[in-house]
């Protein structure tokens, strides 16, 4: 073989080796790229799953109706909010949008700016549209930072707080007055400077005051048990006449003594689901109040009539009536309008009546005008 032939063979051999090496390198690169593609695919799947999870969580938060939740960037621009937050905003808002253009409660803008300065929660209360709100803003430490702003309607919480304070004040007042009277009368008896007639009168007064305290304690216990569900109602099919007549007969003597005309009328064959003893308590409480606030010569009527799937019982008096500002409060425990305060009482009777009626699935309300008497209504489920 000539030199040229050997050279050609050597070149072809070298080319073959180069091509083999190139193929192996290309195959290794292909496998590396394939692995990277698989890894990228796995990461994409993980990110897709994470994104789906985040979207699911955000959708769940979007439906939260109690608190408004806003997500804002460091420019105080809202990038996401739930449905409750949208109700606090100007209508037809599209995101992203600066917070200053979305809401009319500009107190929250300074709150968001304060939250950007550190990682502590910042909060404030503000009033809008007859409601009270608590706004809390907190910075999420990430790059770039986000601000979570929650706005909660705390109107009911504040009302409950006021009710609690009023409850304690009223209990203290209703306990302090008879206790002070008993203490004074006991000190008078201990001094010995009283005759037998005076001693007997003081002892009678002490007995009346202790009876008043006992009634207050019992009604507080009853109300607590009713509210907590520890005094269950036993509903039985009952004629309405069986609810009205015993109370009418029981209160007739008291009405006659007060020179008040007491009448009843009930549509025939009405039957309801009722706990008889508890409904008697409601009627007796309403009748007692009606007699207390109806002057001599007045009238009180006890009525029963059907309305669709309910039976309405009404106690109608021609008494002094109730002021408009007091009508919506008379069923609150210890609430005493002038109409009630003039006659004493624990201030718990109507609250107990309300809970009993609600326990039957019924409604209770009052209609009244000052000087025109009052009508208390409540409903029971009809058989």
Looking at 27, 47, 62, which one is the last position of a domain?
A: 62
Task: Tell me: do 252 and 294 sit in the same domain.
Answer: yes
In a domain, 12, yes or no: no
In a domain, 2, yes or no: no
In a domain, 7, yes or no: no
Q: What domain range includes position 264?
A: 236-381
Looking at 153, 173, 204, which one is the last position of a domain?
A: 153
Overall pTM surpassing 0.75 (yes/no): no
In a domain, 218, yes or no: yes
Total domain count for the chain? 4
In a domain, 102, yes or no: yes
Task: Tell me: do 277 and 374 sit in the same domain.
Answer: yes
CA dist 380 → 122, 170, 234, 270, 383 (Å):
49, 31, 13, 11, 9
Residues 276-295 have pLDDT tens digits of 999 999 999 999 999 999 99
Task: Tell me: do 258 and 171 sit in the same domain.
Answer: no
Nearest alpha-carbon partner for 282 in 304, 258, 308? 304
Coil/strand/helix, residue 234: coil
Contacts of 254 (CB under 8 A, 6+ apart): 288, 291
In contact, 351 and 333? CB cutoff 8 Å: yes
In a domain, 8, yes or no: no
Task: Tell me: do 242 and 338 sit in the same domain.
Answer: yes
In a domain, 77, yes or no: yes
pLDDT value at position 341?
Answer: 41
Residues 39-55 have pLDDT tens digits of 877 777 776 766 566 55
Task: Tell me: do 347 and 254 sit in the same domain.
Answer: yes
Task: Tell me: do 257 and 347 sit in the same domain.
Answer: yes
In contact, 86 and 93? CB cutoff 8 Å: yes
CATH number at 175 reads 1.10.287.130
Partner residues linked to 88 by β-bridges:
none
- State the Cα–Cα distance between residues 22 and 27, nearest whole angstrom: 8
In contact, 296 and 262? CB cutoff 8 Å: no
Task: Tell me: do 118 and 181 sit in the same domain.
Answer: no
- State the Cα–Cα distance between residues 71 and 301, nearest whole angstrom: 61
User: Which DSSP category does 90 fall into?
Assistant: P
Task: Tell me: do 134 and 169 sit in the same domain.
Answer: no
Task: Tell me: do 166 and 293 sit in the same domain.
Answer: no
In contact, 318 and 243? CB cutoff 8 Å: no
- State the Cα–Cα distance between residues 334 and 345, nearest whole angstrom: 9
Q: What is the DSSP string of 298-326?
A: -EEEEEEEEETTEEEEEEEE-SS---HHH
Task: Tell me: do 141 and 276 sit in the same domain.
Answer: no
Per-residue pLDDT of the chain (383 residues; tens, 9 = 90+): 677 777 778 787 888 888 888 888 888 888 888 888 888 777 777 767 665 665 566 565 555 567 888 889 888 899 888 888 888 887 777 888 888 888 777 778 888 888 888 888 898 888 877 788 899 999 887 778 889 998 888 888 887 777 777 777 777 777 888 888 898 888 888 887 678 888 888 898 898 888 888 878 887 888 888 777 777 888 999 999 999 999 999 999 999 999 999 999 999 999 999 999 999 999 999 999 999 999 999 999 999 999 889 999 999 999 999 988 888 888 887 766 544 444 455 678 898 899 999 999 999 999 998 888 999 999 999 99
CATH number at 77 reads 3.30.450.20
φ/ψ of 379, rounded to 5, equals -115, 155
The number of residues making up the chain comes to: 383
pLDDT value at position 342?
Answer: 45
Task: Tell me: do 49 and 148 sit in the same domain.
Answer: no
Task: Tell me: do 269 and 365 sit in the same domain.
Answer: yes
In contact, 14 and 6? CB cutoff 8 Å: no
Nearest alpha-carbon partner for 274 in 352, 361, 349, 350? 361
Looking at 153, 169, 189, which one is the last position of a domain?
A: 153
- State the Cα–Cα distance between residues 137 and 115, nearest whole angstrom: 6
Contacts of 88 (CB under 8 A, 6+ apart): 68, 103, 105, 151
CATH number at 265 reads 3.30.565.10
In a domain, 345, yes or no: yes
């Amino acid at each position: 073989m000539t030199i040229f032939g050997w050279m050609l063979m050597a070149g072809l051999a070298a080319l073959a080796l180069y091509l083999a090496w190139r193929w192996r390198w290309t195959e290794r690169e292909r496998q590396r790229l394939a692995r990277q593609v698989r890894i990228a695919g796995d990461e994409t799947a993980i990110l897709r799953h994470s994104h789906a999870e985040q979207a699911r969580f955000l959708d769940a938060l979007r439906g939260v109706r109690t608190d408004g939740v806003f997500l804002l960037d460091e420019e105080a621009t809202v990038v996401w909010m739930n449905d409750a937050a949208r109700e606090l905003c100007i209508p037809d808002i599209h995101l992203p949008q600066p917070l200053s253009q979305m809401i009319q409660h500009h107190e929250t803008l300074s709150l968001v700016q304060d939250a950007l300065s550190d990682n502590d929660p910042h909060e404030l209360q503000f009033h809008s549209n007859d409601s009270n709100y608590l706004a809390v803003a907190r910075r999420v430490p990430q790059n770039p930072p986000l601000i979570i702003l929650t706005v909660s309607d705390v109107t009911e919480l504040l009302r409950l707080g006021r009710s609690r304070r009023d409850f304690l004040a009223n209990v203290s007042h209703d306990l302090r007055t008879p206790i002070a009277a008993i203490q004074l009368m006991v000190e008078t008896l201990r001094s010995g400077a009283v005759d037998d007639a005076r001693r007997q009168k003081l002892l009678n007064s002490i007995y009346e005051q202790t009876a008043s305290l006992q009634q207050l304690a019992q009604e507080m216990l009853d109300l607590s048990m009713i509210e907590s569900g520890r005094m269950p109602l036993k509903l039985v099919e009952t004629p309405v006449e069986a609810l009205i007549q015993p109370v009418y007969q029981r209160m007739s003597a008291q009405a006659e003594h007060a020179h008040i005309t007491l009448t009843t009328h009930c549509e025939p064959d009405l039957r309801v689901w009722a706990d008889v003893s508890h409904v008697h308590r409601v009627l007796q409480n309403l009748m007692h109040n009606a007699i207390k606030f109806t002057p001599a010569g007045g009238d009180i009527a006890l009525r029963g009539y059907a309305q669709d799937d309910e039976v309405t019982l009404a106690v109608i008096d021609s008494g002094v009536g109730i002021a408009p500002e007091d009508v919506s409060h008379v069923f609150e425990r210890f609430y005493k309008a002038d109409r009630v305060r003039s006659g004493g009482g624990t201030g718990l009777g109507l609250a107990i009546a309300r809970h009993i009626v609600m326990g039957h699935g019924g409604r209770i309300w009052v209609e009244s005008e000052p000087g025109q008497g009052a009508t208390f209504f409540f409903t029971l489920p009809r058989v």
